[in-house]
Structure 1
Amino acid sequence: MTFLIDAWLDRPQPYLRILDRDSGRVCAHLGPQAIADLQEQGDLDLASLNSSEPSVLKELLQSLFLFYYARALGPQRA
């Protein structure tokens, strides 16, 4: 399965989506607070998003998926 990262981080309401490249289906959607949390943790930076190095992108995707699913399974924020 191949994925595509669709990130709009320079908007008033930034978002990041991970799409299935073949079907276009959204596999994960991260909003402004999730993006801020990722950046604060050091797990998301512009250099890794702009990389064309497969190993860097693979590591980024793994980190994003883990964060997304951990957040979905964890306790809800107030």
Structure 2
Amino acid sequence: MYKKLLDEAIVMKEEHACSFKLLNSLERYKRFKAMYPNLEQRIKQHHLASYLGITPVSLSRIRNKGKINK
């Protein structure tokens, strides 16, 4: 049981690390929203920005562009 949880955690960590190499900040944000649809409202913006590897200002710009394009 522990090994299975550990393996899943390692896979998730590797996927997150690969996303930094392969995806730009907008794509990482979209991927986060797809993977965790209700989490964005529950965490602070600076924590999300840190998780995505961008500044809070960049995250704010990405979010505002999404509102404008809708």
TM-score calculated relative to the size of structure 1: 0.23
Structure showing greater Rg: 2
Q: Greater strand percent: which structure?
A: 1
TM-score calculated relative to the size of structure 2: 0.25
